[in-house]
């Protein structure tokens, strides 16, 4: 028998983890920005860069679930929003390897936070699958949205503006987290 008010999840597929990345503006902005930056980089980067983030986030979540902690991880997450937004605003290109390495560091920090926030959920594997699936979906949304925007007459200017807004949000998040 389920406690009153608990959502019924068939076989606990993805459990409560799927919603966790959607509940924090810092996580959501960074994940959308990873997808956007990967689309700006183009070519194979559109899947290599987000894959590096998701892989490192999975590792970080595993470390967090196991009780590992990283001092200042919230500041590092906020900084990832600031830097990703600034990169998009400046319309900076980078090689796939550099882009993947940068977002992997960010992904690890986000993963630590997600793993630490696990709390009392019953199924760790379902939680982990949920956060990784939602993260990948946010990357796809960011990439597709960027490709659509770049297909317009003012696409590059719009992306720069969105990058600036993201960077300002990141700066505010850094200030709040510090």
Sign of torsion over alpha carbons 52, 53, 58, 59? positive
Give which of 68, 71, 55 is closest to 107, Cα–Cα. Answer: 55
Q: Model confidence over 43-91: pLDDT tens digits?
A: 999 999 999 999 999 999 889 888 888 889 999 999 999 999 999 998 8
Residue 111: C-alpha distances to residues 14, 42, 57, 70 (Å)? 16, 25, 4, 11
Cβ atoms of 125 and 14 closer than 8 Å: no
The CA distance from 110 to 101, in Å, is 14
Q: Model confidence over 133-162: pLDDT tens digits?
A: 999 999 999 999 999 999 999 999 999 999
The CA distance from 165 to 162, in Å, is 5
Quick one: DSSP state of residue 11?
Answer: G
pLDDT at 11: 44
The CA distance from 164 to 17, in Å, is 30
pTM above 0.75, yes or no: yes
CB atoms within 10 A of CB 155: 14
Read off the pLDDT band of 16 (50, 70, 90).
low
What would the 3-class secondary structure string for 47-79 be?
HHHHHHHHHHHHHHHHHHHCCCCCCCHHHHHHH
Q: Model confidence over 85-99: pLDDT tens digits?
A: 999 998 877 777 887
């Amino acid at each position: 028998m389920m406690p009153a008010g608990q959502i019924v999840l068939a076989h606990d597929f993805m459990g409560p983890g799927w919603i966790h990345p959607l509940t924090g503006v810092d996580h959501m902005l960074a994940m959308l920005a990873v997808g956007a930056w990967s689309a700006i980089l183009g070519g194979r980067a559109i899947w290599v860069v987000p894959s590096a983030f998701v892989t490192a986030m999975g590792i970080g979540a595993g470390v967090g679930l196991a009780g590992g902690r990283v001092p200042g991880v919230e500041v590092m997450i906020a900084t990832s929003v600031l830097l990703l937004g600034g990169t998009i605003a400046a319309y900076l290109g980078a090689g796939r390897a550099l882009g993947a390495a940068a977002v992997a560091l960010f992904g690890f920090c986000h993963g630590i936070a997600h793993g630490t926030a696990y709390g009392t959920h019953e199924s760790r594997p379902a939680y982990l699958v949920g956060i990784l699936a939602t993260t990948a979906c946010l990357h796809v949304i960011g990439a597709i949205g960027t490709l659509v925007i770049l297909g317009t007459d003012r696409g590059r200017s719009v992306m720069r503006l969105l990058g600036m807004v993201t960077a300002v949000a990141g700066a505010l998040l850094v200030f709040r987290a510090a």
